[in-house]
Amino acid sequence: MLPEKKTNSWVLESAGVDRSLLQSVKKRKMTYFGHVIQKDGECLEKEIIQGTIPGARRRGRPKTDWINNITSWTGLGMRQLVDKALDREAWRKLVHSATNPRLDDG
C-alpha cells in the first residue's frame, strides 16, 4: 500500500493557514527602516538606507532600493516617511496598514 501524497497547498488549506511571505518581508523591511531612522546622530546604516553615500553607481539598470520599495508600499515621500518613523505610534500604524491588506483589496 502506497502512502497518500498531499501537496503543500492542500496541507496549508486544510490547516487554514495562508502563506504570507511578501507580507512578512514588507513588515521586516519597514520595521528595520523605522528602527534605523529613529537612531540618534549619524550612522552608516542610516546613510546607506537614505542613499546619501557619495559616489557613482555602476552602469546598467538601477537596483531596486529600500526607499523605492517602502515609498511604493506606503505611497509617501522620503520626508513624510522620516517624519512618520520618528513618531513611533504613527510608524507602527503605517507598517500595519501597509503589511496587512484588507480582504476587499484582493
What's the pLDDT score for residue 106? 47
- Which whole-number Å values give the CA distances from 51 to 41, 64, 76, 78, 88, in the listed order? 16, 12, 17, 11, 22
Kindly give the parts of the chain with pLDDT less than 70: 1, 52-53, 101-106
- Name residues whose C-beta falls within 8 Å of residue 79's C-beta, 6 or more positions apart in sequence: none
| Integer angstrom CA distances of residue 57 from 28, 67, 69, 87 | 26, 16, 19, 33
Nearest-angstrom CA–CA distance, 9 and 19: 9
Q: What is the pTM of this model?
A: 0.68
From the CA atom positions of the chain, what is the Rg in Å?
A: 19
pLDDT digits (tens, 9 = 90+) for 73-95: 889 988 899 899 999 999 999 99
